[in-house]
Amino acid sequence: MRDFVEDLDTILKYHSGPMLIFDKGLKILHINREFLELLDITEDEFIDRIAEGSSIPLLGNPFIMSFLKDSLSGKEITHELSFRKDQKEHRYNAILIPVSFYDGDRGVSLILESICESNTLASSASVPAAGPHI
């Protein structure tokens, strides 16, 4: 993995929620354990792969891809999203933060902050388990 700037080092060290780090080509550089566990995926399936067209349900959402691209240009974005897993609805604020690496290249961090988890499904019109709702 490349060297990150100090602010990103701090995020990686102290943020306990699900997180992804992308380079300027939106290749996944880092995926933390919490993100892997949330989506029941393995790191080997996704590290060093391009986000666009990825089979990670969250990244299959065109809004998230658009937000990732906007963040590359320096825009910090926060957007609420939800998805179902194990008969629970999970709600998060997706925080996309532009980052710079020690070598000067740009990238994006995608951090998920939990809003709440509901043990029941609201209705049959809820979001399908395969993808997020934005």
Domain boundaries, the chain: 6-79+98-108
Q: What is the mean pLDDT of residues 70-77?
A: 92
At 120 the pLDDT is: 40
3-class SS at 40? coil
CATH superfamily, with its number, for domain 6-79+98-108: PAS domain (3.30.450.20)
- In this predicted structure, the answer to whether residue 134 has a pLDDT above a threshold of 60 is no
Q: Cα separation of 48 and 53, whole Å? A: 13
Q: How many CB atoms lie within 10 A of CB 75?
A: 13
Helix (H) or strand (E) holding 67: helix 62-72
Residue bearing the bigger pLDDT, 71 or 46? 71
36: CB partners within 8 A, 6+ apart:
42, 43
Residue bearing the bigger pLDDT, 116 or 28? 28
Q: Are 15 and 111 in contact (CB under 8 A)?
A: yes
> If we measure between CA atoms, which residue out of 127, 93, 126, 122 comes closest to residue 110?
93
User: For residue range 9-55, what is the model confidence (pLDDT) as tens digits?
Assistant: 666 666 778 999 999 999 999 888 888 888 888 888 888 888 887 77
User: For residue range 77-97, what is the model confidence (pLDDT) as tens digits?
Assistant: 999 888 777 888 888 899 999
Residue bearing the bigger pLDDT, 15 or 101? 101
At 124 the pLDDT is: 34
Structure tokens at 116: 């709440």
Q: Cα separation of 36 and 19, whole Å? A: 9
